Amino acid sequence: MFLALAVVLGPDSGFPQSEAQDRTARVAALCAEGQLVEALEAARLDPAPNRAAKLEADVWWTAGDLGRALGAARAGLEVAPDDLALGSLATDLALALDLSNEAEHHVARLGLALASQPAEAPNLEWWHTRHAQLRAACEAAGLELSLRTRASVRARAVALIGAIGALVALTRLLRPGTTTPPRVIPPQ
């Protein structure tokens, strides 16, 4: 996600860079080169725990391990619950992993973190729009989960009724004296 921006605005972009931007650009470059182990090590060296968690989550996402990416985002939110980028990332990952309840939890925390931001915070309008998008995605995921759950319950009920019907028929066939013997028609 923001790793691509770090590559574009990397150390050779002509813009002044902070140490955090340099580390982000380095991690992004290592990911782009497929050197994920080195990228992970570089991400974990960031002195700010929330930035280190965000970078680690981005590396795991690049590697295709969304579960570990979500774990890194969760760890970052433990130390920085008001980090908007981590809250957004955790929500995205939970949605991608079809964990709608967890996604709803993260989007609610993101809303609280957003409410605690000062009015002059940078990109506040963008974050409000992003939060609304994530909230809508969580509602859709929750509705989909509800529909799947109902369909699963109906399918189980139909299967159970069918199994009971089959057992009743089988017991009637196997119980002596309850069936009439076949009529034999004598030859003429």
Q: What is the mean pLDDT of residues 27-42?
A: 93
Query: According to the per-residue pLDDT averaged within each range, which of 63-77, 127-141, 153-167, 170-184 is highest?
Result: 63-77
Please give the pLDDT value at position 17.
56
Higher-confidence position of 160 and 102: 102
pLDDT band for position 145 (cuts 50, 70, 90):
low
Q: Would you mind telling me the total number of residues written for the chain in this entry?
A: 188
Per-residue pLDDT tens over the stretch 39-83: 999 999 998 999 999 999 999 999 999 999 999 999 999 999 999
Neighbours of 91 (CB within 10 A): 28
Per-residue pLDDT tens over the stretch 77-124: 999 999 999 999 999 999 999 898 899 999 999 999 999 988 888 888
Contact between 48 and 20 under an 8 Å Cβ cutoff? The reply is yes
- Give me the domains of the chain, ranges plus CATH numbers: 2-117+124-147 (1.25.40.10)
Q: How far apart are CA 63 and CA 54, in angstroms?
A: 14
pLDDT band for position 6 (cuts 50, 70, 90):
very low
Please give the pLDDT value at position 3.
47
Element (H, E) at 155: helix 124-174
pLDDT band for position 173 (cuts 50, 70, 90):
confident
Mean pLDDT over each residue of the chain, to the nearest integer:
84
Higher-confidence position of 148 and 97: 97
Q: How far apart are CA 78 and CA 86, in angstroms?
A: 10
- Exposed, middle or buried: residue 135 (CB in 10 Å: 0-12, 13-18, 19+)? middle
Contact between 79 and 49 under an 8 Å Cβ cutoff? The reply is yes
SS3 116: coil
Residue 142 has pLDDT above 60, yes or no: yes
